[in-house]
């Protein structure tokens, strides 16, 4: 059968090919014809444009974050976002759960024991910031009553004399907000503002900046060394 001379047959076969009811040998023969015939390929594309929108009748479904992570892993995609745009390439949920899992350990390491917390119920937010190796490196405690934010460096890495560590609250939308510069030697006490513990804070991060802090109004300019998230104590 020479299908090329029969326009109506070509169209019918293209339609049933796209719908899926063209089967077996007939399907394979049609594919072979199409591979050498641009007109047939055009008919197929037209039927795809007609029928494939049926897929949308199924309705959209939220996709679990692990699907993207697997795709990224399989394709070896490199992350080319600005260093502070962490939330674009990593799951916030992952970071939240990491923070939760590590916070107890962090409290012990920082010498802030649970009993101390009970005596000081005003500490209502705690965060453990981790480095690349997922080690607890910084512990933040916030007292929203007295408006005090305390930052403890657990194992301070040496910071060059022309550099400083800067703490940021990264909101879900917009640019990161600076919460202040950290004393490289150990404990820093900062004023706690709504910018630090607002509901829109997606992540906390510490970047390495020139002495005096980031020169940019748009957020960090240096590498992100530590990141993590708040855990509300009550």
Q: Least Å distance between CB 50 and another protein?
A: 5
Spell out, one character per residue from 63 to 102, where the chain touches another protein: x when CB under 8 A holds, - when not.
Answer: xx-xxx-xx--xx-xxxxx------x--------------
Contact between 189 and 182 (Cβ < 8 Å): no
Q: In the stretch 11-50, what mask flags binding to another protein with x, by CB under 8 A?
A: xx--xx--xxx-x-----------------xx--x--xxx
Q: Minimum distance from CB of 81 to another protein (Å)?
A: 7
8 Å CB contact between 84 and 224: yes
- Of the candidate residues 2, 5, 36, 58, the single one contacting another protein (CB under 8 A): 58
Whether the Cβ atoms of residue 166 and residue 220 lie closer than 8 Å to each other: yes
Smallest separation (angstroms) from another protein to the CB of 61: 4
H helices within the chain, ranges in order? Answer: 7-19, 24-35, 38-51, 65-75, 86-89, 92-109, 114-119, 194-197
Q: In whole angstroms, what is the distance from residue 88 CA to residue 186 CA?
A: 31
Q: How far is the CB of 85 from another protein (least distance, A)?
A: 10
Asked if residues 182 and 188 have their Cβ atoms less than 8 Å apart, the reply is yes
Residues found near another protein in the complex (CB under 8 A) = 11-12, 15-16, 19-21, 23, 41-42, 45, 48-64, 66-68, 70-71, 74-75, 77-81, 88
């Amino acid at each position: 059968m020479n299908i090329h001379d029969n326009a109506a047959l070509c169209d019918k076969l293209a339609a049933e090919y796209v719908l899926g009811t063209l089967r077996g040998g007939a399907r394979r023969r049609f594919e072979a014809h199409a591979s050498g015939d641009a007109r047939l390929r055009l008919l197929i594309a037209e039927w795809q444009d007609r029928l494939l929108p049926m897929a949308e009748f199924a309705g959209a479904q939220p996709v679990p974050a692990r699907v993207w992570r697997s795709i990224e892993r399989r394709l070896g995609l490199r992350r080319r976002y600005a260093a502070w745009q962490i939330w674009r390439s990593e799951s916030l949920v992952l970071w939240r759960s990491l923070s939760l899992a590590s916070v107890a350990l962090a409290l012990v390491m920082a010498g802030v024991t649970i009993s101390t917390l009970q005596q000081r119920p005003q500490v209502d937010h705690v965060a453990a910031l981790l480095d690349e190796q997922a080690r607890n490196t910084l512990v933040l405690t916030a007292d929203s009553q007295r408006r005090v934010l305390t930052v403890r460096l657990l194992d301070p890495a040496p910071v060059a004399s022309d550099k400083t560590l800067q703490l940021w609250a990264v909101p879900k939308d917009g640019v990161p907000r600076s919460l202040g510069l950290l004393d490289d030697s150990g404990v820093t006490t900062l004023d706690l503002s709504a910018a630090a513990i607002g509901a829109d804070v997606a992540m906390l991060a510490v970047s390495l900046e020139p002495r005096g802090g980031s020169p940019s109004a748009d957020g960090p300019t240096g590498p992100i060394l530590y990141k993590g998230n708040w855990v509300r104590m009550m």
